[in-house]
Amino acid sequence: MMGLPFIHHPGYTIELPAAHPFPMRKFTALREQLCPLAAGAAIDWLQPEPVDRDALRRVHTRDYIEAFFGGRVDRIAQRRSGFQWSEELVSRVRLETAGTLLTVEAALAEGLALNTAGGTHHAHADTASGYCLINDIAVAAAHALARGWVRRVLVVDLDVHQGDGTAALFQDVPEVFTFSMHAGTNFPARKQHGDLDVALPKGMADDTYLDALAARLPELLEQFRPDVVIYDAGVDVHERDRLGHLALTDAGIRQRDEYVIRACRSAGVPVAAVIGGGYDRDIEALAARHALLHQAAINHWNQAGG
């Protein structure tokens, strides 16, 4: 048996203008913080190869993919995405998406695997939105279904923002169940209809949030009986996140991640986790919040004996 799979690539981080609001350096900072954290654990670091266009076309339109790869994205679309187009950006997105595909594959083999990026759930079939250019969650789910690895995929999206792109892409796909628990007052203004959308009130804190999650996840696992869970563990639910409307603490995020992993694994369901959103100008503090997911996974792995 291999160790707990952590998926990372140095290409997850590219240079952005100093004033750019997206915290691109968090992926490198997370990798650096995980090194000592993982030193005493059985961790296998896996590195993805860039995803090919065929995998992307399972959920995105051909025209959109060709325009994105070829640099034919107009200024309005670039503004909507939050990024100025570049070849480096295309390479980064291909690696991040491939990382989530590899995370799903490793989770199916080992029961649990984690990406150090991913969760670009606002990307739709033919458009980017909210720093999301390719929907890595949707691409990975569609890939696993197409390869015959699984028959049913449950997306558990606990980012503070609704996973609107993922919901829209799978509205007519019964093999994928989308569960999004998010701040109802937050982006996007126009929500999509997922299979289960739970809009939370602004300012919700740890205990009530965890109660809301516990009231729904076990029933979903029992009724839908997924072959894998893709878990978007966004930390923009944190009380100090500059784009979040909720009020979870570090302890609350840790308990959330521990609960999701434990509930799924106790039901015999593999978990492929991505880090999702998180926005703070203090990159080290932000990376530490994302690392709570990986620490929860290490603890579960050790307790379960690998």
Nearest-5° Cα angle at 64, 62 to 67: 105
| Sheet of strand 43-46, all strands in order from the earlier edge strand to the far edge | 43-46, 4-7, 112-115, 271-274, 228-232, 153-157, 176-183, 196-200
Q: For the segment 111-165, what is each residue's pLDDT rounded down to a tens digit?
A: 999 999 999 999 999 999 999 999 999 999 999 999 999 999 999 999 999 999 9
Fold of 4-11+22-304: Arginase; Chain A (3.40.800)
Q: For the segment 240-258, what is each residue's pLDDT rounded down to a tens digit?
A: 999 999 999 999 999 999 9
Residue 91 has pLDDT above 70, yes or no: yes
The pair of structure tokens assigned to 206 is 């740890």
The DSSP output letter for 187 is S
pLDDT of residue 222: 98
pTM, rounded to two decimals = 0.97
Distance in angstroms (rounded) separating the CA atoms of residues 250 and 277:
15
Q: For the segment 6-31, what is each residue's pLDDT rounded down to a tens digit?
A: 999 999 999 999 899 999 999 999 99
The answer to whether the CB of 108 falls within 8 A of the CB of 149 is yes
122 is catalytic: yes
Output the average pLDDT for the chain.
97
Report which secondary-structure segment, H or E, holds 46.
strand 43-46
pLDDT of residue 36: 87
Q: For the segment 166-192, what is each residue's pLDDT rounded down to a tens digit?
A: 999 999 999 999 999 999 999 999 999
Distance in angstroms (rounded) separating the CA atoms of residues 198 and 261:
20
Q: What's the rounded mean pLDDT across residues 216-225? A: 98
Distance in angstroms (rounded) separating the CA atoms of residues 125 and 7:
25
pLDDT of residue 305: 77
User: Mutual orientation of helices 217-224 and 206-214 as an angle, nearest 10°?
Assistant: 20
Ordered by start, the domain boundaries in the chain are 4-11+22-304
Q: Give SS3 for 180.
A: strand
Residue 213 has pLDDT above 80, yes or no: yes
Dihedral sign for Cα 56, 277, 215, 103, please: positive
pLDDT of residue 1: 53
Of 8, 121, 122, 238, the catalytic one is 122
Dihedral sign for Cα 24, 30, 31, 33, please: positive
Q: For the segment 34-55, what is each residue's pLDDT rounded down to a tens digit?
A: 998 777 779 999 999 999 999 9
